[in-house]
């Protein structure tokens, strides 16, 4: 029996969106798909009722709402167009859902009322507006929708930037755009890639692409950048890894294995990994990289074996093992992957790991040791230990340091690498706990007033001059040099949930929520505590928006974590001495 309800839209966003049109109609209370309870979503397909019909619900618009239908406010395009001029001309939007707070009458006790922050609805509108279409199909999201400043390449679809958007869409039951993106970028991989007269490896994936519209021929084409236009001319090593990780997230979330099984996808995976698994002069299983080949795409002293790339490499290898078919080529590749994973996990867990015990050992290292018996294998000089690390290191806790190479340890803490280490289970459960312990005890430094520091600490003065090459965009506590990046919130949230500390993520999300919308979703914040909108930060930066949404959705329904997290592989035995970070 339908019940009559009074409905109000949640929070302050309600009046702004104009007239309410009520929705109806599901049948049994317990059979409502959790997604429809949770979602605060925008339906943007040609069939606006898709979400409902997918769950086999009859749909009708009426003034009555059966109590079983968890509160959604539905706004038709006409109402939206009258009240939000910005999206008046957005052809792809048919219908909006917003979550409601139910007030009042005859609400059954068992009713599970969804309370969603008003920022969420606004974030969905902005994410929707960032979608890029190619010949009528959604294929990605633009990096930033900010016309107030020079666009440079922020009007392109970046592979790494699309990851949180993709996760948001998958969590919201909209996998099509993710599938289109994976296929489109796979085609780009087969382009011939040249920087001046030099040809890049066949597996290289682009950093970004852009859809060009020829108004005369009314025809769309794509251009892609593999590093030949990027500042510094460096190819993005992370793009291919993110592509594999996303393919696995798509497969896990939809249960559709047919995409990954396509011969071209299998080939794409193998080509990406061939770039990294080839034999050469390497003595380490880690991957040697140039500065600026990942999210930090400018000179920042992260050349060598940066943690961000090593953690993504590890995760991509593990995802590839799950995706590769057991045919001849697949098996051969899988064998090489397994060997590399074994060596890589040993190397990372042994040499990149730092806690108070390890720090103390390095502090007392002897140098100039030779032969197999050497304790100080890379000949690290204790004098190269920076002063800050002694204060930063808590008694309980630890992290994977930024870089390890001969006589060089970069002791900086990097967010992305440490979170991905947790998600991929590169970190043992004890190490994952220790990383979270460190974040908790260094909350002020790493989270401050805006989550989350890309790295800690910033380089200053002479060091900044030498290492960044006097880069004015990377001054101390700005941008890549100790700036705070809201996009990292989704990674923190995922890592928190995986290591059983959702309350930490909740605190971080609340901090971000109080400012992001007001500040128009900046790309990054500046200052030791992240109090200031970044000097050159773009506004309406899509991955800041999507990162927030993913964090919210994941916290609300932790089962989403599965698409971006891998369980510990017991075969890769941790080869670590017991250490102070997990003794108590
Ligand atoms: C900046 C960031 C890079 C990002 C790009 C687009 O160059 O350093 O990580 O992909 O902007 O947002």
> Looking at ligand 1, which residue's alpha carbon is closest to its atom 2?
295
Helices 502-513 + 488-498 axis angle, to 10: 160
Tell me the sheet residues that pair with 453: 484
Ligand 1 centroid to Cα of residue 463, in Å, is 23
Ligand 1 centroid to Cα of residue 464, in Å, is 20
Residue 143 beta carbon below 6 angstroms from any ligand 1 atom: yes
Rounded Cα gap, residues 108 and 67, in angstroms: 8
Residue 356 structure tokens: 């108070």
Closest ligand 1 atom to 480 CA = 8
Closest ligand 1 atom to 207 CA = 10
Residue 161 beta carbon below 6 angstroms from any ligand 1 atom: yes
Q: Is 264 helix (H, G, I), strand (E, B) or coil?
A: helix
The pLDDT value recorded for residue 575 is 54
Instruction: Answer for the pair 51, 176: CB distance below 8 angstroms, yes or no.
Output: no
Degrees to nearest 5, angle at CA 119 with 116 and 122:
110
Rounded Cα gap, residues 301 and 469, in angstroms: 10
φ, ψ for residue 324, nearest 5 deg: -70, 140
Residue 119 structure tokens: 């920022």
Closest ligand 1 atom to 297 CA = 8
Residues of the chain below pLDDT 70: 1-116, 573-584
Ligand 1 centroid to Cα of residue 52, in Å, is 36
Ligand 1 centroid to Cα of residue 157, in Å, is 10
Which residues, 6 or more positions from 272, have their beta carbon under 8 angstroms from its beta carbon? Answer: 189, 203, 205, 240, 241, 243, 244, 316
* Closest to 315 measured CA to CA, from 262, 238, 207, 405: 238
Q: What is the pLDDT of residues 371-424, one digit of tens each?
A: 899 999 999 999 999 999 999 999 999 999 999 999 999 999 999 999 999 999
Q: Is 428 helix (H, G, I), strand (E, B) or coil?
A: coil
State the CB neighbour count (10 A cutoff) for residue 303: 17
Degrees to nearest 5, angle at CA 503 with 499 and 504:
75
Degrees to nearest 5, angle at CA 513 with 507 and 515:
120
> Looking at ligand 1, which residue's alpha carbon is closest to its atom 3?
295
Instruction: Answer for the pair 542, 143: CB distance below 8 angstroms, yes or no.
Output: yes
Rounded Cα gap, residues 390 and 183, in angstroms: 48
Residue 404 structure tokens: 């390890």
> Looking at ligand 1, which residue's alpha carbon is closest to its atom 7?
297
Residue 160 beta carbon below 6 angstroms from any ligand 1 atom: yes
* Closest to 195 measured CA to CA, from 265, 305, 309, 290: 290
Rounded Cα gap, residues 313 and 24, in angstroms: 47
Ligand 1 centroid to Cα of residue 295, in Å, is 6
Closest ligand 1 atom to 523 CA = 12
Which of 130, 209, 295 best tests ligand 1's pocket when mutated (most atoms within 8 Å of CB)?
Answer: 295
Rounded Cα gap, residues 240 and 94, in angstroms: 34
Ligand 1 centroid to Cα of residue 242, in Å, is 14
φ, ψ for residue 192, nearest 5 deg: -80, 130
Model pTM score: 0.82
Rounded Cα gap, residues 26 and 254, in angstroms: 23
CA atoms in the 13 A half-sphere facing the CB of 565: 23
CA atoms in the 13 A half-sphere facing the CB of 158: 21
Residue 158 beta carbon below 6 angstroms from any ligand 1 atom: yes
Q: What is the pLDDT of residues 107-148, one digit of tens each?
A: 332 223 334 578 998 999 999 999 999 999 999 999 999 988
* Closest to 168 measured CA to CA, from 118, 222, 213, 123: 123
The pLDDT value recorded for residue 67 is 36
Rounded Cα gap, residues 536 and 526, in angstroms: 10
Residue 297 beta carbon below 6 angstroms from any ligand 1 atom: yes
Which of 150, 151, 161, 524 best tests ligand 1's pocket when mutated (most atoms within 8 Å of CB)?
Answer: 161
Closest ligand 1 atom to 153 CA = 6
Which of 158, 206, 234, 417 best tests ligand 1's pocket when mutated (most atoms within 8 Å of CB)?
Answer: 158
Closest ligand 1 atom to 144 CA = 12
Residue 144 DSSP label:
B
Closest ligand 1 atom to 538 CA = 12
Which residues, 6 or more positions from 14, have their beta carbon under 8 angstroms from its beta carbon? Answer: 8, 73, 98
Quote the longest CA-to-CA distance of the chain: 82
The pLDDT value recorded for residue 569 is 85
Rounded to the nearest 5 percent, the helix, strand and coil shares of the chain are: 40, 15, 40
**Residue 218, exposed/middle/buried by CB under 10 A (0-12, 13-18, 19+)?**
exposed
> Looking at ligand 1, which residue's alpha carbon is closest to its atom 9?
295
Instruction: Answer for the pair 228, 194: CB distance below 8 angstroms, yes or no.
Output: yes
Ligand 1 centroid to Cα of residue 541, in Å, is 10
* Closest to 264 measured CA to CA, from 176, 184, 319: 184
Ligand 1 centroid to Cα of residue 96, in Å, is 30
Tell me the sheet residues that pair with 211: 222
Ligand 1 centroid to Cα of residue 234, in Å, is 13
Instruction: Answer for the pair 198, 216: CB distance below 8 angstroms, yes or no.
Output: no
The pLDDT value recorded for residue 150 is 83
Residue 419 structure tokens: 């979170």
Degrees to nearest 5, angle at CA 571 with 567 and 572:
80
Ligand 1 centroid to Cα of residue 113, in Å, is 38
Ligand 1 centroid to Cα of residue 303, in Å, is 17
Residue 295 beta carbon below 6 angstroms from any ligand 1 atom: yes
Degrees to nearest 5, angle at CA 515 with 510 and 521:
115
Residue 553 beta carbon below 6 angstroms from any ligand 1 atom: no
Ligand 1 centroid to Cα of residue 296, in Å, is 7
Which of 132, 142, 143 best tests ligand 1's pocket when mutated (most atoms within 8 Å of CB)?
Answer: 143
Q: Is 473 helix (H, G, I), strand (E, B) or coil?
A: helix
> Looking at ligand 1, which residue's alpha carbon is closest to its atom 4?
295
Which residues, 6 or more positions from 295, have their beta carbon under 8 angstroms from its beta carbon? Answer: 160, 238, 308, 416, 454
φ, ψ for residue 472, nearest 5 deg: -70, -20
Query: What is the C-alpha end-to-end distance of the chain, expressed in Å?
Result: 57
Ligand 1 centroid to Cα of residue 232, in Å, is 13
């Amino acid at each position: 029996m339908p019940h009559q309800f009074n409905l109000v839209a949640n929070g302050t966003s309600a009046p702004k969106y104009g007239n309410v049109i009520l929705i109806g109609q599901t049948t049994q209370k317990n059979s409502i798909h959790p997604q429809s309870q949770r979602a605060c979503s925008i339906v943007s397909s040609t069939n606006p009722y898709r979400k409902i019909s997918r769950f086999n619900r009859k749909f009708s618009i009426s003034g009555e709402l059966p109590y079983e239908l968890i509160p959604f406010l539905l706004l038709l395009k006409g109402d939206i167009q009258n009240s939000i001029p910005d999206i008046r001309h957005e052809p792809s939007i048919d219908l909006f859902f917003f979550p409601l707070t139910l007030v009042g009458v005859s609400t059954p006790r068992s009713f599970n009322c969804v309370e969603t922050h008003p920022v969420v609805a606004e974030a969905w509108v902005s994410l929707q507006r960032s979608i890029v279409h190619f010949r009528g199909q959604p294929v990605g999201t633009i990096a930033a929708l900010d016309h107030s400043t020079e666009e440079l390449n922020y009007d392109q679809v970046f592979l790494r930037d699309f990851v949180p958007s993709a996760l948001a869409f998958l969590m919201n039951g909209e996998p099509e755009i993710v599938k289109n993106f994976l296929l489109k970028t796979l085609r780009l991989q087969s382009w011939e890639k040249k920087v001046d007269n030099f040809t890049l490896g066949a597996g290289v994936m682009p950093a970004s692409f852009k859809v060009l519209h020829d108004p005369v021929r009314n025809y769309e084409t794509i251009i892609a950048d593999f590093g030949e236009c990027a500042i510094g001319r460096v190819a993005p090593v992370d793009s291919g890894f993110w592509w594999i990780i996303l393919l696995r997230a798509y497969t896990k979330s939809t249960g559709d294995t047919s995409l990954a099984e396509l011969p071209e996808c299998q080939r794409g995976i193998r080509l990406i990994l061939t770039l990294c698994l080839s034999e050469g002069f390497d003595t380490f299983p880690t991957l040697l990289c140039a500065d600026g080949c990942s999210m930090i795409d400018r000179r920042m002293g992260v050349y060598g074996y940066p943690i961000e790339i090593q953690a993504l490499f590890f995760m991509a290898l593990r995802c590839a093992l799950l995706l590769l078919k057991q045919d001849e080529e697949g098996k051969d590749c899988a064998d090489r992957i397994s060997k590399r994973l074994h060596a890589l996990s040993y190397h990372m867990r042994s040499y990149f790991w730092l806690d108070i015990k390890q720090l103390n050992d390095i502090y007392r290292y002897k140098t100039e040791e030779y032969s197999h018996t050497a304790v100080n294998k890379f000949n690290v000089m204790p004098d190269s230990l920076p002063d800050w690390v002694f204060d930063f290191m808590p008694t309980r806790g630890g992290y994977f340091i930024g870089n390890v190479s001969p006589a060089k340890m970069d002791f900086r803490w990097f967010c992305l690498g440490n979170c991905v280490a947790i998600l991929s289970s590169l970190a043992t459960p004890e190490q994952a706990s220790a990383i979270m312990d460190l974040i908790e005890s260094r909350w002020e430094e790493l989270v401050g007033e805006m989550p989350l520091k890309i790295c800690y600490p910033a380089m200053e003065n002479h060091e900044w001059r030498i290492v960044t090459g006097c880069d004015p965009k990377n001054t101390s506590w700005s941008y890549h040099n100790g700036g705070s990046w809201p996009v990292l919130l989704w990674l923190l949230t995922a890592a928190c949930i995986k290591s059983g500390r959702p309350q930490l993520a909740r605190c971080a999300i609340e901090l971000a929520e109080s400012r992001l919308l007001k500040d128009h979703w900046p790309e990054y914040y500046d200052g030791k505590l992240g109090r200031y909108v970044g000097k050159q930060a773009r506004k309406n930066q899509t991955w800041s928006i999507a990162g927030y949404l993913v964090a919210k959705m994941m916290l609300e329904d932790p089962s989403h974590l599965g698409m971006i997290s891998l369980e510990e592989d017991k075969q890769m035995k941790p080869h670590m001495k017991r250490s102070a970070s997990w003794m108590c």
